[in-house]
């Protein structure tokens, strides 16, 4: 929302001591954020009005016209212009040689396209008005040919207020509302809004315009007036400049006038050609009704689109855009002025469905004050009479107001004010603060009653907290003395999942060298398509960020593996970790669970056993660190939706016999398909269910007592067939019972040349001892003999 | 032998040991000398062995005397041994390569947490010290919790402020961490002190400063007499702790449907120090902490008695804060997974000697 300071000064006097930036800062800290403040400095010197005598296309140069101008005093000049439209008889802004504007090079006589050109017809852009390229600014008859255009007319300061910060303030969508706020901030008086008295428009000898509203919940008020004597001509220069400076393109006198009132009061208006709309019915569109809007587009309406109709025929989409057929044109004799108030959600819904956000609909969505429909028409007459001396009313001010708003009063407990603001506010102070905002505070017993003006009563101030906000901001948040809170002690039940997630990340990134990354929570469908894999039943986004990003992830691995590929050139070894949510289509609460995903990748195919063992070791350490529990692995079937799970080498992580995740190595063909450079890498990965693990009770970690007599360590290495699972082998070995055996542990396993093909060497360590005595060599020998015998019984071959 | 004779003999032995030790230069020689004195057949050893043959009335006095003498002699030997050994190890060390104490050490590569996580943990620790609990809440949230419970009805224009990702199961990806306010009120009731860090999602086009996936930290404090001065004091504390320096705040009105009054807390730009730069859009201020007093409708939706309790809430832009702390200029780096841009080079390799990157 752009605000012109010149415009504001119609309503308030800004003290000269306050510069524009300071004003913007005050507005920011009291009302709403100023995003930007910009000086419009045209530095216009010597610009004059000039009448176009003739304009003809230059035969040898496209887009250029040779124009003869009356520059007053009986003098004429010829100039070349690129303006797309120049009519004979129109008045333009002309810069003769020697005139200057800041944005243009020296203006002089020149030869343009081999034609003598004297000065230039100034394009709107040079005056800070956003217009089509090179478009000229046309003047009304205020200035005769040769009249000097006052240079101070062109300069201004423009404040850009953040639209989001005034969503709740319908009154701030026009300059008068902003002026009221500025008046309160600066403590200066606000001038009365200049309108004709409504009684003047109630002339009984003029006819009433028939207006009916079918559904008063959709249209709270519709005011109308028929006028004549509004010929087609440009708006006055000052109005065009103001509109241009606040980002509205000047179009024609009438359109500019209604736009001006919208930017002034915040109330959108529309003018119909009264020959196409001489009575008004506000009603719903027929299903699939076709309607051509002002912009020439044909729209298909819905049965919940609110329409302005005339004798059963639609003439406008209420609050959004008028129809082409009832558009005001050069042949229009009388106009029907619409100034209405529509239900914000109806307008919002229709604008959304039709994809038509207009300046008008944006304002109606904010819930405008119904009082303004009359004010806008009253204002139209004031400005219109200046522009159109022949302006006459052809109807009475006609008004259908079924949704009349009752005056709002809000009851406020001063103790609540003190509680929230942190200090007492007296009734006197409250009135001093709120009177400039047109709110009146009176005491009723120990409560306050705050009378809220109509322009703050729609979707804005309705409860005590709203009034407290008004007090707090006008006192100034900047003046608040910070104070730490006084609190009641209480204990909160532990959030086990969050703790586990935090500790798991800390463990893998410090006890090991994993680097945490964050990936998107949706799969890339193209990645799955590349691998001919169906991602499975996923929750889908109805509006994905891009084509193919519609599936919510069920696993963290695609993201982690993609990141592995991304880093492959820069690191010989990549350890990644991510914790995050994964999603399923279940209806129950566990349709979102937290996982931790790990990747350990190393350049070199031979590293596969090493990276997998290191990953497993890190996970075992994690389980001990978190739960003081040992982990076990068992073979698992690969999930067909997860191509990173190796068909033969996938395992399940179990703790106390329950599964908590999956891990495997990535098979060669999949690595190659992912990225040909990864073909020569070894990649191990694991994905664990943190939500489930967070429910695991922590085991009590018990420490050893140092035995009085030392234990003896004996290592046993033996060969087992490679196909025998570790789980089975150690179960067999653990079946051994002996009175001296204190502890049996796993030391390691080895496969390789020295043990022969098809064989695996496993080393276990036995700790033996007796409480009452020190063991002798003979005891150890006897133990070894018996244990080896036990192992041999399973067909294991003892290595010496 | 009487006690005087014994003392005399001991004095002689000690004097001799002193002389002999001065001449010993090798550990082996010292050991054999020790045997000739303290061994069973050594000069002092014999006296020690003789104690048991003394008449009973002398035994105690003799015993004490020789034992004290043994301790003194032993100390002489040990002290000499210590000197010999240290000169031996000095000689050994000299024989090895030159010792350079200024050389860097060796360490396995360090891992790292994500920049956002690092700042998140810092904030969690700050609030845990103040008795806050950390809550999470799901990323896939019901429309009710994300909007209605926060005083944003379906027709509210504020729904446009947060372009939403809609899901085919009727849920949404939460557009802010604020639904955790509602969840926490339902779970714990008042009084309440939580922070809720987490991921949020908004349907917007990604560029260097916009992401559709980002982190916030929600804060919520409900108690008797919680006030705007409390909110400002806590915000100042938070930003000062996180930035590890004093910061200037600018407090101004802000509009969020779930707070009333709503405020925006700006921090003086830490990049330019308030002079104006592209990061702060030349204003000198950076929007950092949207906040406010919890709207009565939100408290009521959460089942909190608004007569007894008031509360404040804030939503800190964690991602933005992390970018500021780590000097990250492009937001896309954070979800991009490229370690080169997310992990400090010192963590990835050895010491850096010259840095012009």
Residue B84 shares a structural domain with residue B162: no
Q: How many CB atoms lie within 10 A of CB A125?
A: 17
**A481 inside 8 A of chain B by CB:** yes
| Pair A527, A558: CB distance under 8 Å | yes
B173 and B143 share a domain?
Answer: yes
Do B312 and B201 lie in one domain? The reply is yes
Q: How far is A89 from chain B (nearest CA, A)?
A: 47
- What pLDDT is attached to residue B65? 87
Q: What is the pLDDT confidence band of residue A289, given thresholds at 50, 70 and 90?
A: very high
Q: Which helix (H) or strand (E) holds A537?
A: none
Please state, in angstroms and rounded to a whole number, the distance separating the CA atoms of residues B331 and B208.
5
B337 and A349 in contact by Cβ < 8 A? no
B336 & B196 share domain: yes
Sheet holding A759-768, edge to edge: A741-750, A759-768, A712-721, A797-798
Contact B335 A168 (CB under 8 A): no
**Token pair belonging to B146:** 């994300």
Tokens of A368: 């405008």
Q: Could you tell me which of A229, A240, A234, A225 has the C-alpha nearest to residue A272?
A: A225
Residue in A29, A36, A513 closest to B252 by CB? A29
Q: What is the DSSP letter of A100?
A: B
B344 touches chain A (CB under 8 A): no
DSSP line for A732-763: HHHT---TTEEEEEEEEEE-SGGG-TTEEEEE
Alpha-carbon dihedral sign for residues A651, A654, A657, A660: negative
- Residue A267, CA distances (Å) to A160, A321, A383 in order: 19, 14, 15
Same domain, B239 and B349: yes
Q: What is the pLDDT of residue B161?
A: 56
Q: Does B226 touch chain A (CB under 8 A)?
A: yes
Strands A408-412 and A298-300: unpaired
Residue linked to tokens 């003809």: A56
Q: Which residues of A touch B337 (CB under 8 A)?
A: 517-519, 559, 562-563, 566-567, 576
**Does B102 map to a domain?**
no
- Report the pLDDT value the prediction gives residue B158, as an integer from 0 to 100: 64
Q: Does B158 contact A at CB distance below 8 Å?
A: yes
Distances (CA, A) of A270 to A207, A226, A328, A380, B55: 20, 12, 10, 11, 136
Instruction: Look at residue A279 in the predicted model and tell me its pLDDT.
Output: 92
Contact A664, A676 (CB under 8 A): no
User: Per this entry, what is the length of chain B?
Assistant: 357
Residues B41 and B184 in one domain: no
A746 CB near a chain B CB, below 8 Å?
Answer: no
Q: What is the mean pLDDT of residues A48-53?
A: 96
Task: Clarify whether residues B139 and B238 are in a common domain.
Answer: yes
Q: Which residues contact A340 (CB under 8 A, 6 or more apart)?
A: A219, A221, A222, A223, A282, A308, A318, A319, A373
Judged by a CB distance cut-off of 8 A, whether residue B148 touches chain A is no
Of A166, A484, A515, the CB nearest to B230: A484
What integer is the mean pLDDT of A770-789?
A: 94
- Residue B249 domain flag: yes
The Cα of B113 is separated from the nearest Cα of chain A by a number of Å equal to: 5
The percentage of residues in chain A with a pLDDT greater than 70, rounded to a whole number, is: 100
Chain B interface test: which of A353, A508, A517 (most B C-beta within 10 Å): A517
Task: Kindly give, in sequence order, each residue whose CB lies less than 8 Å from that of residue A426, ignoring residues fewer than 6 positions away.
Answer: none
**A556 vs B: CB within 8 A:** no
SS3 category, A373:
helix
Nearest to B114 among A482, A506, A516 (CB): A516
Q: How many CB atoms lie within 10 A of CB B108?
A: 7
Kindly determine whether residue B136 and residue A542, on different chains, have CB atoms separated by under 8 Å.
no
Per-residue tokens: B3 = 């006690």
Owning domain of residue B80: 3-96
Q: Where are the beta strands (DSSP E) in A274-333?
A: 280-284, 290-292, 298-300, 306-310, 313-317, 321-322
Planar angle of CA A753, A759, A764, nearest 5 degrees: 100
Q: Hey, how many other C-beta atoms are within 10 angstroms of the C-beta on B256?
A: 26
B101 in any annotated domain: no
| A468 Cβ under 8 Å from any chain B Cβ | yes
pLDDT at A375 > cutoff 60: yes
Q: Are residues B119 and B86 in the same domain?
A: no
Contact residues on chain B for A477, CB-CB shorter than 8 A: 228, 232, 251-253, 263
SS3 B328: coil
Answer yes or no: do B258 and B214 share one domain: yes
Q: Return the number of CB contacts < 8 Å for A and B.
A: 234
Give the pLDDT confidence of A728-770 residue by residue, as tens digits: 999 999 999 999 999 999 999 998 888 888 999 999 999 999 9
Q: What is the pLDDT of residue B67?
A: 87
pLDDT at A130 over 90: no
Q: Which residue of B has its CA nearest to A577?
A: B113
Q: Which of residues 500-529 of A touch B (CB under 8 A)?
A: 502, 505-506, 508-510, 512-521
- Output the average pLDDT for chain A: 94
- Whether residue B180 sits in one domain with residue B83: no
Domain-embedded: residue B109: no
Q: How far apart are CA B300 and CA B304, in angstroms?
A: 5
**Which of B41, B62, B96 marks a domain boundary?**
B96
Of B133, B161, B337, the CB nearest to A562: B337
pLDDT digits (tens, 9 = 90+) for A625-682: 999 999 999 999 999 999 999 999 999 999 999 999 999 999 999 999 988 999 999 9
On whether residue B119 sits in a domain, the answer given is: yes
Name the domain boundary from B37, B67, B96: B96
Separation CA B92–CA A135 (nearest Å): 95
A513/B342 CB distance under 8 A? no
Residues 6+ apart with CB under 8 A from A332: A230, A273, A274, A275
| Chain B positions in Cβ-Cβ contact with residue A172 (cut-off 8 Å) | none
Q: What is the structure's pLDDT at B162?
A: 59
Query: Is A574–B138 a contact, with Cβ atoms under 8 angstroms apart?
Result: no
Determine the Cα–Cα distance for residues A301 and B353; give it in Å rounded to an integer. Answer: 70
For A204-261, the pLDDT digits (tens) are 899 999 999 999 999 999 999 999 999 999 999 999 999 999 999 999 999 999 999 9
Cβ-based neighbours of A437, under 8 Å, separated by 6 or more: A180, A181, A184, A453, A456, A470, A474
Using a CB-CB distance cutoff of 8 angstroms, which residues of chain A are in contact with residue B274?
none
Phi, psi of A567 (to 5 degrees): -95, -5
Strand partners, A440: A451
Mean pLDDT along residues A86-110? 92
Quick one: residue A396, left, alpha or beta (phi over 0 = left, psi -120 to 50 = alpha)? beta
> Between A365, A477, A562, which is nearest B251 by CB?
A477
Residues of chain A with Cβ-Cβ distance to B335 below 8 Å are 518-520
- Residue B160's pLDDT is 62
Which residues does A483 contact at the CB level (< 8 Å), separation at least 6? A422, B227, B229, B230, B233
Q: Which residue of B has its CA nearest to A479?
A: B251
Q: What is the pLDDT of residue B85?
A: 83
Give the residue from B61, B96, B131 where a domain finishes.
B96
- The answer to whether residues B40 and B127 belong to one domain is no
Which residues lie across from A117 on neighbouring strands? A110
Find the residue in B nearest to A513 (Cα): B111
Note whether A75 contacts B: Cβ–Cβ < 8 A. no
What is the total count of domains within chain B?
Answer: 2
Sequence-distant (≥ 6) Cβ neighbours of residue B103 within 8 angstroms:
none
Quick check: bond before A259 cis, omega within 30? no
Three-class SS state of A526: helix
By the CB < 8 Å criterion, does A62 face chain B? no
Q: Has residue B250 been placed in a domain?
A: yes
List Cα–Cα distances, A197 to A193, A375, A397, in angstroms: 11, 9, 11
Per-residue pLDDT, B46: 85
Cβ within 8 Å of B, A 88-117: none
Express each pLDDT in B270-294 by its tens digit: 878 888 887 787 888 988 899 999 9
Is B41 a member of any domain? yes
The SS3 assignment for A710 reads coil
Mutating which of A347, A518, A520 best tests the B interface, going by the most B Cβ atoms within 10 A? A518
Q: Is the pLDDT of residue A343 over 70?
A: yes
Kindly report the CATH number assigned to the domain that includes residue B293.
3.30.930.10
- Residue A311 burial (C-beta neighbours within 10 Å; 0-12, 13-18, 19+): exposed
Task: Say which residue, A481 or B349, is predicted with more confidence.
Answer: A481
Go through A213-230 and write b for each residue having 16 or more CB atoms within 10 A of its CB, e for each that does not: beeeebbbbbbbbbbbbb
- Decide: A466 and A460 in contact? Cβ < 8 Å: yes
Measure A597 CA to nearest chain B CA, in Å. 14
- Phi, psi of A328, rounded to the nearest 5 degrees: -70, 135
Cβ atoms of A410 and A450 within 8 Å: the answer is yes
Contact B228 A477 (CB under 8 A): yes
**Does residue B230 form part of some domain?**
yes
Q: Convert the pLDDT of each residue in A290-337 to its tens digit.
A: 999 999 999 999 999 999 999 999 999 999 999 999 999 999 999 999
Q: Are residues B30 and B175 in the same domain?
A: no
pLDDT at B95 over 70: no
With beta carbons under 8 A apart, name residues in chain B contacting A505.
113, 117
Helical spans, DSSP H, in A323-442 = 344-354, 359-364, 372-387, 414-421, 427-434
What percent of chain B has a predicted confidence (pLDDT) above 90? 51
């Amino acid at each position: 929302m752009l605000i012109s300071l010149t415009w504001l000064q119609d309503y308030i006097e800004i003290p000269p001591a306050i510069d524009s930036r300071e004003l913007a800062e005050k507005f920011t800290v009291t009302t709403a954020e100023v995003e930007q403040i910009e000086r419009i400095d045209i530095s216009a010197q010597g610009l004059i009005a000039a009448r176009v005598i003739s304009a003809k296309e230059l035969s040898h140069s496209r887009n250029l016209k040779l124009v003869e101008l009356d520059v007053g005093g009986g003098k004429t000049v010829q100039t070349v212009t690129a303006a797309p439209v120049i009519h004979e008889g129109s008045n333009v802004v002309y810069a003769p040689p020697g005139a200057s504007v800041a944005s243009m090079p020296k203006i002089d006589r020149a030869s343009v396209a081999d034609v003598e050109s004297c000065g230039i017809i100034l394009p709107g852009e040079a005056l800070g008005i956003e217009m089509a390229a090179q478009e000229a600014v046309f003047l009304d008859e205020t200035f005769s040919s040769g009249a000097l255009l006052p240079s101070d007319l062109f300069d201004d300061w423009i404040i850009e207020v953040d639209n989001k910060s005034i969503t709740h303030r319908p009154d701030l969508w026009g300059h008068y509302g902003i002026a009221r706020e500025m008046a309160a901030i600066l403590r200066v008086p606000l001038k009365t809004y200049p309108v004709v008295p409504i009684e003047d428009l109630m002339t009984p000898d003029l006819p009433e315009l028939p207006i009916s509203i079918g559904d008063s919940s959709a249209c709270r008020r519709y005011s109308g007036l028929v006028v004549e004597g509004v010929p087609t001509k440009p708006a006055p220069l000052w109005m065009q400049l103001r509109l241009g400076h606040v980002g509205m393109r000047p179009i024609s006198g009438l359109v500019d006038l209604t736009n001006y009132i919208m930017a002034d009061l915040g109330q959108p208006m529309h003018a119909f050609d009264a020959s196409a709309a001489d009575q008004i019915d506000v009603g719903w569109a027929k299903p699939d009704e076709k309607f051509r809007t002002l912009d020439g587009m044909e729209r298909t309406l819905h049965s919940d689109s609110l329409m302005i109709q005339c004798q059963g025929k639609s003439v406008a989409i209420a609050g959004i855009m008028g129809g082409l057929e009832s558009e005001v044109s050069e042949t229009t004799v009388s106009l029907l002025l619409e100034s209405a108030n529509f239900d914000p959600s109806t307008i919002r819904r229709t604008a959304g469905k039709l994809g038509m956000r207009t300046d008008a609909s944006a304002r109606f969505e904010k819930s405008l004050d119904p009082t303004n429909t009359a004010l806008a028409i009253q204002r139209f007459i004031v400005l219109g009479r200046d522009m159109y001396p022949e302006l006459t009313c052809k109807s009475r001010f006609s008004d259908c107001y079924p949704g009349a708003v009752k005056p709002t009063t809000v009851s406020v407990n001063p103790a609540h004010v003190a509680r929230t603001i942190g200090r007492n506010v007296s009734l006197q102070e409250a009135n001093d603060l709120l009177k400039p905002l047109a709110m009146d505070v009176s005491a009723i017993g120990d409560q306050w009653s705050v009378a809220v003006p109509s322009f703050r009563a729609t979707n804005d101030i309705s409860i005590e907290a709203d009034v407290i906000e008004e007090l707090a901001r006008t006192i100034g948040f900047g003046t608040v003395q910070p104070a730490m809170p006084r609190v009641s002690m209480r204990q909160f039940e532990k959030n086990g999942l969050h703790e586990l997630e935090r500790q798991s990340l800390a463990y893998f990134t410090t006890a090991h060298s994993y680097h945490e990354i964050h990936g998107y929570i949706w799969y890339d469908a193209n990645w799955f398509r590349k691998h001919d894999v169906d991602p499975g039943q996923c929750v889908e986004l109805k509006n994905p960020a891009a084509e193919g990003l519609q599936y919510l992830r069920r696993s963290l691995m695609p993201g982690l593996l993609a990141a592995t590929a991304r880093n492959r050139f820069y690191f010989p070894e990549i350890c990644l970790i991510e914790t995050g949510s994964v999603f399923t289509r279940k209806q129950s609460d566990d349709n979102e669970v937290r996982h931790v995903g790990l990747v350990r990748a190393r350049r070199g195919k031979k590293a596969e056993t090493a990276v997998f063992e290191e990953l497993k070791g890190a996970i075992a350490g994690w389980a001990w660190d978190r739960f003081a529990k040992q982990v076990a692995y068992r073979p698992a079937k690969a999930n067909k939706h997860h191509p990173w799970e190796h068909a033969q080498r996938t395992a399940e992580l179990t703790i106390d016999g329950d599964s908590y995740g999956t891990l495997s190595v990535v098979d060669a063909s999949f690595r190659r398909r992912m990225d040909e450079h990864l073909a020569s890498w070894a990649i191990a990965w694991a994905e664990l269910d943190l939500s489930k693990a967070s429910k695991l009770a922590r085991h009590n970690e018990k420490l050893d007592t140092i035995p009085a007599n030392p234990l003896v360590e004996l290592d046993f290495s033996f060969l087992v067939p490679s196909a025998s699972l570790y789980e089975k082998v150690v179960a067999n070995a653990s079946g051994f019972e002996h009175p001296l055996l204190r502890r049996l542990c796993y030391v390691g396993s080895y496969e390789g040349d020295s043990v022969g093909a098809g064989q695996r060497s496993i080393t276990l360590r036995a700790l033996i001892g007796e409480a009452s005595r020190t063991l002798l060599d003979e005891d150890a020998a006897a133990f070894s003999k018996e244990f080896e015998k036990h192992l041999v019984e399973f067909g294991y071959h003892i290595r010496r | 032998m009487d006690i005087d004779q014994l003392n005399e003999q001991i004095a002689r032995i000690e004097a001799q040991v002193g002389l002999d030790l001065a001449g010993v230069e090798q550990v082996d020689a010292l050991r054999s000398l020790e045997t000739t004195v303290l061994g069973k057949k050594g000069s002092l050893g014999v006296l020690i062995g003789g104690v048991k043959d003394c008449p009973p009335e002398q035994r105690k006095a003799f015993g004490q005397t020789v034992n004290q003498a043994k301790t003194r002699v032993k100390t002489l030997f040990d002290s000499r041994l210590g000197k010999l050994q240290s000169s031996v190890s000095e000689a050994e060390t000299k024989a090895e390569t030159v010792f350079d104490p200024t050389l860097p050490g060796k360490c396995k590569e360090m891992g790292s947490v994500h920049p956002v996580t690092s700042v998140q943990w810092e904030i969690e620790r700050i609030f845990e010290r103040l008795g806050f609990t950390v809550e999470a809440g799901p990323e896939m949230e019901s429309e009710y919790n994300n909007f209605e419970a926060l005083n944003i009805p379906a027709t509210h224009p504020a729904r446009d402020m947060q372009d939403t990702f809609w899901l085919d199961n009727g849920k949404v990806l939460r557009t802010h961490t604020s639904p955790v306010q509602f969840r926490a009120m339902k779970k714990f009731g008042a009084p309440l002190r939580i922070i809720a860090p987490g991921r949020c999602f908004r349907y917007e086009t990604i560029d260097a400063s916009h992401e559709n996936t980002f982190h916030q930290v929600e804060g919520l404090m409900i108690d008797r007499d919680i006030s705007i001065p409390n909110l400002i004091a806590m915000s100042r504390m938070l930003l000062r702790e996180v930035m590890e320096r004093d910061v200037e705040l600018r407090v101004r009105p802000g509009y969020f449907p779930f707070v009333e009054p709503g405020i925006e807390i700006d921090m003086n730009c830490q990049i330019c120090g308030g002079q104006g730069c592209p990061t702060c859009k030349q204003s000198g201020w950076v929007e950092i902490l949207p906040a406010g007093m919890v709207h009565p409708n939100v408290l009521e939706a959460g089942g909190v008695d608004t007569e007894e309790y008031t509360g404040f809430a804030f939503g800190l832009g964690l991602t933005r804060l992390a970018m500021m702390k780590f000097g990250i200029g492009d937001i896309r780096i954070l979800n991009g997974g490229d370690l080169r841009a997310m992990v400090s080079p010192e963590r990835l390799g050895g010491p850096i000697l010259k840095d012009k990157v």
